[in-house]
Structure 1
Amino acid sequence: MNDLIREIENADSIAITGHINPDGDCIGSTLGMYNYITSNYPDKRVQVYLQEFPDVFMFLNGASTVKHEADDETYDLFMSLDCGDMDRFTPFVRYYETAKRTLCIDHHVSNKGFGDVCYVESDACSAAEAIFKLLDEKKINQQCAECLYTGIVHDTGVFKHSNTTRESMTIAGILIEKGARPSFVIDETFYKKTLTQNKLLGYALLNMKQFADGKITHTLLTKEDFDRFGASKMDTDGIVDQLRLTSGTEVAFFMYQAGEDNYKISLRANDIVNVSEIACSHGGGGHVKAAGCNMSGDPEKIVAEIVADIEKQLG
C-alpha cells in the first residue's frame, strides 16, 4: 500500500482541487481521482473544487458535481493535483489550511514540493499519468479511465508533444482497454469548436505577429476582442498551439486580457527554448515546452519583455 492509498483510506472526507484556469489534464486528473475514490470507497465524502471550465468536458463522470466557488466545508484530506505550487490553487487554499492532512501529486519540473505527502514525477507526461501509477490498476473503472485518458491526451497534445513517451502510450492503451473512448474524447475536447471559438481563433490568427526573423510568433486578445465575438477565456483553447504550428516558429506565445491591466500568457516551444524558465521568472510555471504566467502593465511592454526573454535563449 502506497502513501496515497493509505491517506485515502484514513480520511472520511476528501477535497480535491487543481490549478486555476483548469485545462484538460487538470480536469481529467481531478475527476479521475474523484471517480476512483467514489467507486472504491463509496462511504467517503468527496468534493472536487475547480474554477469554471469549458462545457466540452461535461461528459466526464462527476463533472456536474464540481463546485466552482469555495464554501465553509472542512475536510480530513486535501488533495492538490496538477499544481506546481500553492499559488496555483489560491481560490481554494482554505481547504489546504484547514485540512487534517494534505497531499500533492504533480508533474511540473518547477514544483519544489508541498503538503504532508508529495509526489512529483517530472518525467510523467501529465498529472494523469502520475496519478495512474499510484492507483491500483485493477480498481480503475471505465469512468476513472476516461478521465485519466483525457488528461494524458491533453497534456501530450494528442500524443504529438515531445513529452509523449512509450510509457505514456502504454498507459493510454491500458485506459482504452478499461473503457476510455479515444475517438470520442479527442473529437469532443480537441477538434470540435463552436462558431464563437472559430471566429475568435480566426481573429487571433489574423492579428498574429512575428519577431526574431519568424522564430517567435505571438498574438493578443483584449477585452474588446472578447466582447466583439461574445467570447470568454474558455473559448481560447487551441490558439497558442495553432501559433506554434506556424512554419519557422521556435516559440509561440498567446496573451489575453484577464483584468484591467493584467494579462494571461501561454508559451509553447518547439525545440530550443525552455519556456518554463521564462514563465517562472515572471511568477508562473510549467514545463520545458509548455508554460504560462500572468503579468500586469502595458501590453506592448509585456510583449517586448517576453520577446527579449525568448531571444536570450535563441542566441
Structure 2
Amino acid sequence: MMKSNELDTVVVLGHINPDGDAAGSVMGIAHYIGVNYPEYQVFPYLADTIDKGPKLQVRQDKKFDPFEKPDLQGKRFATVICDTATLARLSGREFYEASVASIVIDHHASNEGYGDRNYTKVSEACAVNVFYSLNQDDLKKAAEAEEYPNAADYIYLGIVHDTNAFQRADESIMKAATKLLELGVDHRRIIQTRQIDTLEDLEKRADILKNAIRVLDGKVAYVCINKEEKVKKNISYEEIHPISSILRDCADIELGFTMYEEEPDRWRCSFRSDGKWLDVNELITPFGGGGHAGAAGLRKRTGDMEELRSQILERVKKLRAEKCFT
C-alpha cells in the first residue's frame, strides 16, 4: 500500500485514554517499522492520558515521543490503527481521516470494519494479533537492533496488561509470550509496569470500593461516582478505571462495573465479567458501547444516570434469564 500510493510516511494510532495494550501495540509497530523500513518516516501518537504503568515504559523510549502530535500538514501519509473498535474512540482521528491508506489491527468483537485493510480477530489482547501479524525474522531484527524498550518489549507490555498478567491466557498467548522472551524481553522489568501502586493509591482505592453496591442476588457489584463525589474526593478516571476488574475478580462476584461522570451529564462506564456468565459486549451494545465478551466500555450522555443504570441491570437480568433458559 505504501509503494502503490507512493507514500513515505506512516502514523500509528490507538484509542483515547490508552491502556497497556493500545500503547504496546502502537509503539511495537512503530519500532518494527522504524527498524525494518528505514525508508519510511513513522510517527506513533498516544494521548497523554495513558495509564500510569505503560507510561513508565513509554517515557524511557529513546526513539519516539508519542505524546507530541506530528505536523503533517500538506503531506500524504498512511495510518495504522491499533486496538480501537470504533472511530468514536480513536485518538488522532483527524490523521486517519486525512490518510491516503489505512490498516486496522484490532481484537474487539464490536469493531466497525473501518479502514482499507481491517484485520480484526477476537482475542484477549490486540498485541497478540500484532505479534502474529508481523514477520518473525523482522521482529527479531527489530528486537536485536534497539535497546529497551524495543518492538518486542512493547508487544509483551501489551499482552501482559490486557491479559491481566496472564490471568486470561490461552495456548496462543503463552506461545507468543515465550517467543518474545526468547527475543530478550525481560519479564521482571515489564511486569513492574503493573506494580506501581503507592500506599496512598491503595487507601484511595479502598475508599472508592466502600461505595460498591451489590445487586441481583449479590452476583453483580458496581460503583457510581458522580461529578460532586469526583470533585470532593479528587477521583480521576485513572483511579476509577481498575475498579470494575477488581470487583469482577472477587470470588463471589460475576459482573463488576463502574459509572463515572467525567463531564456534566456524560458518563463513562466500564464492565467486566468472565465472558461466560455474561457477555458484556452483548450487554451494552444496545446502549452504544462495545468491546469484548469479558471487557467492554460505554460513554453515554444522560441527565438521568439512575434510569441508565436501571436499564442496564434490567438487561443483565434479561440476558441471564435467556442464558439459563437455553
Using the size of structure 1 for normalisation, the TM-score is 0.89
For residues 41 and 205 of structure 1, do their structure 2 counterparts lie closer, same or farther at Cα, with a shift above 3 Å needed? same
Which residue number corresponds to residue 243 of structure 1?
Answer: 247
Q: CA deviation at 1:247?
A: 3.2
Which residue number corresponds to residue 297 of structure 2?
Answer: 292
Counterpart of 1:135, as a letter, is L
- SS of corresponding position for 2:92: helix
Which residue number corresponds to residue 324 of structure 2?
Answer: none
| Residue 156 (structure 1) aligned with residue 163 (structure 2) | yes
Which residue number corresponds to residue 57 of structure 2?
Answer: 59
Unpaired stretches in structure 2, ≥5 consecutive residues: 144-149, 322-326
Counterpart of 1:132, as a letter, is F
Would the aligned equivalents of 2:18 and 2:51 in 1 still touch at CA under 8 Å?
no
Would the aligned equivalents of 1:109 and 1:287 in 2 still touch at CA under 8 Å?
yes
In the aligned structure 1, how far is the partner of 2:137 from the partner of 2:24?
Answer: 19
Q: Which structure 2 residues correspond to residues 234-313 of structure 1 after superposition, within 5 A?
A: 234-270=238-274, 271-297=276-302, 298-313=304-319
For residues 92 and 134 of structure 1, do their structure 2 counterparts lie closer, same or farther at Cα, with a shift above 3 Å needed? same
- SS of corresponding position for 2:269: strand
For residues 234 and 68 of structure 1, do their structure 2 counterparts lie closer, same or farther at Cα, with a shift above 3 Å needed? farther
Query: How many matched pairs?
Result: 306
In the aligned structure 2, how far is the partner of 1:68 from the partner of 1:76?
Answer: 17
- SS of corresponding position for 1:66: coil
Q: CA deviation at 1:47?
A: 1.3
Which deviates more, 150-159 or 217-226? 217-226
Query: Deviation string for 1:155-197 (max 9, x for gaps)?
Result: 2111112xx2101100011111112222222222x23213453
In the aligned structure 2, how far is the partner of 1:308 from the partner of 1:279?
Answer: 12
| Residue 146 (structure 1) aligned with residue 153 (structure 2) | yes
Would the aligned equivalents of 1:84 and 1:108 in 2 still touch at CA under 8 Å?
yes
Which residue number corresponds to residue 187 of structure 1?
Answer: 192
Would the aligned equivalents of 2:106 and 2:120 in 1 still touch at CA under 8 Å?
yes
Q: Which structure 2 residues correspond to residues 66-105 of structure 1 after superposition, within 5 A?
A: 66-67=66-67, 73=73, 74-89=75-90, 91-105=91-105
Query: Deviation string for 1:7-65 (max 9, x for gaps)?
Result: 79963101111111211111110011111111222342211222221342232336960
Using the size of structure 2 for normalisation, the TM-score is 0.86
- SS of corresponding position for 2:57: coil
Query: Deviation string for 1:63-86 (max 9, x for gaps)?
Result: 960136585544421111111122
Query: Deviation string for 1:268-293 (max 9, x for gaps)?
Result: 11231110012221112100111111
In the aligned structure 1, how far is the partner of 2:63 from the partner of 2:290?
Answer: 26
The share of aligned pairs that are identical, in percent, is 28
Which deviates more, 255-264 or 301-310? 301-310
- SS of corresponding position for 1:11: coil
Query: Deviation string for 1:183-212 (max 9, x for gaps)?
Result: 222222x23213453233112211100110
Which residue number corresponds to residue 28 of structure 1?
Answer: 24
Unpaired stretches in structure 1, ≥5 consecutive residues: none
Counterpart of 2:11, as a letter, is A
In the aligned structure 1, how far is the partner of 2:33 from the partner of 2:67?
Answer: 17
Based on CA coordinates, which of the two structures has the bigger radius of gyration?
A: 2
- SS of corresponding position for 1:227: helix
For residues 204 and 176 of structure 1, do their structure 2 counterparts lie closer, same or farther at Cα, with a shift above 3 Å needed? same
Counterpart of 1:128, as a letter, is A
Q: CA deviation at 1:127?
A: 1.0
Would the aligned equivalents of 1:255 and 1:264 in 2 still touch at CA under 8 Å?
yes
In the aligned structure 2, how far is the partner of 1:7 from the partner of 1:263?
Answer: 44
For residues 154 and 63 of structure 1, do their structure 2 counterparts lie closer, same or farther at Cα, with a shift above 3 Å needed? farther
Q: Which structure 2 residues correspond to residues 103-252 of structure 1 after superposition, within 5 A?
A: 103-122=103-122, 124-140=123-139, 141-142=142-143, 143-161=150-168, 164-188=169-193, 190-252=194-256
